[in-house]
Structure 1
């Protein structure tokens, strides 16, 4: 099987050289798992980090925000950097930076140093996924890419499921420092295997030399514009709800800077000879459609991955570990379905698989609107499994379809942009979801309070029952009435919050359904006739 991908080895873009290409897919998935795990593992430990470093919760959220900003800044330019530095060299540099920064995060003596090391970690992590996907796209021919992305996708989607559970367990049984230390052995293993097994194809090295022949021309204006646009957008989305959106001058400033940077970026990159981001790809039917669909999928995956533990811990009093465990069956379902999806993508056109996957996600999200105050662990586990059934039939076909019709020299840029789509979609999904929850919870609470007037016989009857309960617990009548009123207030707040979460699931289902017809615009991959099957 080692020679089935190569054809003319001197012109092959495969990173496998004479080795089995599936070995390369496994190797790049190691660092992917480490990277994606880190995006979700830190969320559950924020309270512990804040307490340990004598910081407030609002301050500690910058541990997440700064990482995401650094990630957003480096991802779109990673394709250009890989072409200039060399794909293997750049990939190893990213893994090394991420690993060293993880160690330093665990050793950080204060919040300021932790935030600085998280920025370094984000810069290293941002370039890893685009490089890995570019390696897979070049190492496997079109008809085998779906299977390669299936193996890679196990790490991409299972890691966020494992992250909250592992993060909660490490924090509860050791300390928050270990959520960073755990990356170090993975990083060392990845570097050793990449150095040993991956090759830099001659044709890619030749393209790099030709690019540098006339001297290195850096699109500094393009870099500043894309870094400013995406960095400010990430701060706007991540901090907007906490700062009351456009009522805050801080948030408004970042929104305006981001919008202006985007408006200037498009004509600049279109007119530049060697753009740091190939904007033209977004205006092609195939890649542009893949970009939009990936944004929608990223929004659903990231928002539900964050909202489910948040809902369970606030409205159902789950611990971090228990809420993570409720998501574990979904990860197992993904593990089983990924190879099936990869096999199916070799037989069925990607657009039909995407339509099917999105339809399953729509039904799964709508099922979650049946959430009740007495929902069991089984309900949450099944809801997550139901949602996860659809996602393998989205990520793999989209990743496969994105490279259809692209020139081989465009794979680095395409990989970078498809990751930008997933991250932007995720940030938008999480931000909008939290905004809906905050605003709709207030609306529902006002509505529920309006039905608890003193003249309401149902309210008076419930108040008497609760008062009698507290009297039976040993309180005198006056204390029992006060406790009863407080208990009913908490009940209303919890019910209002639950209704707000249901609203989010309903809106996500409707939004996902609107994207279904878009998938039908995609073309199907054709076998690469230059390479034997």
Structure 2
């Protein structure tokens, strides 16, 4: 059975998580062989697996345009509202390395079905959440149970088709994961504006129940079954400890004035000490939860670093754009969705070509196209101003889809180049863990940096509003003559200054991100992928 290492993603709209290598066992020899499905069963199985994947990927993007509404309804700031996104991402990142162990311990079909059902339950609880604390807790639960869904959907789908049709199977699967980021912002915006934000989670209930029922009815007799395997419990505990502390530090740093707060200092110490112990333990443990020795490989180090940094930049910008549009440009959630949704259109168009040719071309060249594309898109956004029309905002979003198509597939080809089949599950779990964690941290850093830069720009702009500035005096006089009190006129001017300041802050971040993507071009050329027999597959059958 061929293994696909294709990717979209991510998104967002948010981009979907990149697929993991089939995690069911240490090596192909350990997997019982099941004959491919035929006829109606294969069609139904494909539909069920695609529905589950669609539901999972949709939840990475559907909440983005709803953050202002969620924050307002629950009485928190929009920056605190982004914890709804980062909590899911961090929990998902922690769960990914566990997929291999869970699959062997419980069986792939049992685990996949349980994961879908628990995801449905967590989605329902998210919709019922009465406050931000409970919503974040349920999003953490949702992220944890979502971990096995993406890689296992690939594993089960590939087992459903004969080897000759593996590429076709993954192409169909990839289309599902690329349609979700397009649908997410549109659906999330429409639901938020016309119903209420809890329904962005409730819609998972019927979809998930249907997917779980069909999957279990078709695949339950094709499960290789559970077997006892060792679990690195201490390594897992240390992983949760340092990643959780790091994310809390980044999320709450702005709110608590960073290292002037004892709580932030404590989080930093826990993260640093936990990470140090984690490194030592994982490098000496016989069965580590993540195989850190893979970073000794040049291609894995360069590929994973470029993929993770690039994804952190991409995802942070994807979350920032709808926040700016809704808070300072007067967009509704629906229109913010229209402005961010087309990100997947060109990705759908170009991904099959990239997947087909990545094995015949130098993946570093393809990745360079992606980095230059992202740099160009973000430079276009750095030219935005408060008068930017909808078309000006939409064009970079549309072009970004092409960069996405050249991003995940070639970088995963580089990352897994030269690995043996038994190394793929560990490598995929580790690569996806680092990537998803980088996305969550990137989101927190970008929203904090946005507010900090806006405060700086506001101070500079406000200095110009004084009695010696003729334009400012005339503007205030005009507002007074229109019937506004001096206080109301000052508040109106302050709002205009805020709009300008946050727009300038957003363009600062877009400009910085553009420069960092250019720097990644040099990083990726430090790798040296080889086309050799037995190397990790690079002929992705589609894009995720």
Q: Indicate the TM-score class for this superposition, using the shorter chain for normalisation.
A: 0.7 to 0.9
Distance (Å, rounded) in 2 between the aligned partners of 1:189 and 1:92 = 11
Residue 244 of structure 2 aligns to a residue in which SS?
Answer: helix
The correspondence of residues 70-219 of structure 1 with structure 2, limited to 5 A, is 70-108=91-129, 114-132=135-153, 152-156=173-177, 158-195=179-216, 209=227, 212=228, 216-219=229-232
Q: 1:495 to 1:14 in 2, by over 3 A?
A: farther
Q: Give distance in 2, aligned partners of 1:144 and 1:240.
A: 50
Question: 8 Å contact 2:109–2:219 — kept in the other structure?
Answer: yes
CA contact (8 A) 2:312 2:441 kept: yes
State the shift of 1:421 in Å: 2.4
Say yes or no: does 1:523 pair with 2:529: yes
Quote the Cα distance in structure 2 between the aligned partners of 1:514 and 1:138: 40
Q: TM-score, normalised by structure 2?
A: 0.82
Residues 130 and 415 in structure 1, CA contact (< 8 A), matched pair in contact too: no
More moved, 360-369 vs 183-192: 183-192
- Measured after TM superposition, the shift of residue 129 of structure 1 is 2.8
Aligned to 2:36: 18
Number of aligned residue pairs: 510
Instruction: Name which one, 1 or 2, has greater alpha-carbon Rg.
Output: 1
Which deviates further from its counterpart, 508-517 or 116-125? 116-125
Other-structure match for 1:35 = 56
Counterpart mapping for 1:61-460 below 5 A: 63-108=84-129, 114-132=135-153, 152-156=173-177, 158-195=179-216, 209=227, 212=228, 216-455=229-468, 459-460=469-470
Cα deviation, residue 92, structure 1: 2.5
Question: 1:448–1:200: structure 2 CA closer, same or farther, 3 Å change rule?
Answer: farther
Deviates more, 1:141-150 or 1:515-524: 141-150
SS in 1 for 2:197: coil
Between the two structures, name the one with larger relative contact order (CA 8 Å, sep ≥ 6): 2
Q: CA deviation at 1:318?
A: 0.7
SS of 2:385's equivalent in the other structure is coil
| 1:84–1:413 Cα change, 3 Å | farther
Q: CA RMSD in A?
A: 3.7
Task: Answer whether contact 2:88 2:142 (CA < 8 A) is retained.
Answer: yes
Report if the CA contact (8 A) 2:67-2:323 is conserved: no
* Cα separation, partners in 2 of 1:116 and 1:492, compared to 1, 3 Å: closer
Contact 2:86 2:443 in 1 (8 A): no
* Residues 57 and 177, structure 2, Cα contact 8 Å, conserved in 1: yes
Partners of 1:15 and 1:386 lie apart in 2 by 43
Deviates more, 1:169-178 or 1:387-396: 169-178
Deviates more, 1:244-253 or 1:59-68: 59-68
SS of the counterpart of 1:195?
Answer: helix
Higher helix proportion, which one? 1
User: C-alpha separation between the residues in 2 aligned to 1:530 and 1:327?
Assistant: 34
Q: What displacement does 1:506 show?
A: 1.0
CA distance in 2, matches of 1:135, 1:342: 20
1:391 match: secondary structure: helix
Relative to the length of structure 1, the TM-score reads 0.83
Q: In 2, are the aligned partners of 1:80 and 1:277 still within 8 Å (CA)?
A: no
Distance 2:157 2:307 in 1: 18
Q: Map Cα deviations across residues 292-313 of structure 1 (whole Å, 9 max, x no partner).
A: 1221231132112111111111
| Partner secondary structure for residue 127 of structure 2 | helix
Q: Does the CA contact (< 8 Å) of 1:311 and 1:501 recur in 2?
A: yes
SS in 1 for 2:374: helix
Helix, strand or coil at the partner of 1:252: helix
Q: CA deviation at 1:493?
A: 2.3
Are the structure 2 counterparts of residues 200 and 4 from structure 1 closer, same or farther at C-alpha, using a change threshold of 3 Å? farther
Gaps of 5+ in 2: 5-27, 540-544
Contact 2:243/2:271, CA 8 A, preserved across alignment: yes
CA apart distance, 1:353: 0.7
Structure 1 stretch displaced more, 512-521 or 61-70: 61-70
Partner Cα distance (1:225, 1:509) in 2: 35
What is the CA–CA distance in structure 2 between the aligned matches of 1:400 and 1:253, rounded to whole Å? 39
Query: 1: distance between equivalents of 2:245 and 2:505?
Result: 28
1:363 to 1:287, Cα distance in 2 relative to 1, 3 A: same
- Tell me, in whole angstroms, the C-alpha distance in 2 between the residues paired with 1:529 and 1:418: 17
> How many Å separate the matches in 1 of 2:52 and 2:375?
31
Contact 1:44 1:320 in 2 (8 A): yes
Q: Distance in 1 between matches of 2:452 and 2:298?
A: 37
